Structure 1
Amino acid sequence: MTLALNVRLDKSGYLIMNRTNLTPLFHLGRIVATPGALDVLQRAGVFPFQLLVGHQCGDGGVLCAEDRAANAGAIVAGGRILSVYEVGAEKIYVITEADRASTTVLLASEY
């Protein structure tokens, strides 16, 4: 399945994703989100699925090189996978557990 995803929120450092061929790399399991994360996303006009699709397809957001390498290993070996997205002044974490039973969307301050 190929999905086109083009998200742009500009002028304030908002999320920008421009990927056209997205292939899921792992299962998300049960998806949960905190009220704080949902509030920030709603105010910014970002749907949670936009972050989840990017996360599941290997777009880690604003991760450093070390965290990107850890994610690559985790996808192969079954470890925890982290993505970090900047939405306005907030950072949103998307974390899939090592057993792939669940994925959580939360504010960095809620971690």
Structure 2
Amino acid sequence: MKNFLYGYINPNSKPRFALGRVVATPGAIELMQRTETNPFALLGRHVTGDWGECDPEDAQTNEDALTHGSRVLSVYRLPLRAAGEKGDTQSQADLTGDRIWVITEADRSVSTLLLPEEY
């Protein structure tokens, strides 16, 4: 995992679970291309426990999933902002609401990048 995520994981963070095989839906690929988003940046955040825009209940469900072996879900708005970056005005992403999900299955055999409507 270190090799293909090198440079996308915060050096102070470590992967918290295995991603398994990584796949993406056509809609997710199109959105990442349109927003010039590198999928490894999304995977790096996901695997280190940055759940993106998950609500607090879903974030807690993810934390529990790491202990009990359940599915893990992250939600990111594209294009990504750097961690901690805040804008004074609404960005185009805020207006369009382009979101992508990253789901890692309970058995950690596969992680999928997909649009919410593709679920």
Give the TM-score taking structure 2 as reference length: 0.76
Q: Does 1:41 align with 2:32?
A: yes
Identity %, equivalent residues: 46
Q: Does 1:96 align with 2:87?
A: no
Structure 2: 5+ residue runs without aligned partners? 79-92
Residues 22 and 111, structure 2, Cα contact 8 Å, conserved in 1? yes
User: Which of the two has higher C-alpha Rg?
Assistant: 2
1:73-95 per-position Cα deviation (integer Å, ceiling 9, x unaligned): 00111100000001133110100
CA–CA distance in 1 between the matches of 2:51 and 2:17? Answer: 13
CA–CA distance in 2 between the matches of 1:22 and 1:47? Answer: 19
Task: Tell me the equivalent position of 2:72.
Answer: 81
Query: Map of 1:1-111 to 2, 5 A cutoff?
Result: 5=8, 19-87=10-78, 88=93, 89-111=97-119
Residues 8 and 40, structure 2, Cα contact 8 Å, conserved in 1? no
Q: Name the one with the larger strand percent.
A: 1
Residues 4 and 22, structure 1, Cα contact 8 Å, conserved in 2? no
Q: Which amino acid aligns with 1:85?
A: Y
1:22-78 per-position Cα deviation (integer Å, ceiling 9, x unaligned): 210000001100111011111111111110110000000001000010000001111
Partner SS, residue 40 of structure 1: helix
Deviation beyond 3 Å, 4+ runs, structure 1: 3-6
Residues 26 and 75, structure 1, Cα contact 8 Å, conserved in 2? yes
Q: Name the one with the larger helix percent.
A: 2
Deviation at 1:20, TM superposition (A): 4.7
Task: Tell me the equivalent position of 2:86.
Answer: none
Residues 4 and 21, structure 1, Cα contact 8 Å, conserved in 2? no
CA–CA distance in 1 between the matches of 2:52 and 2:103? Answer: 12
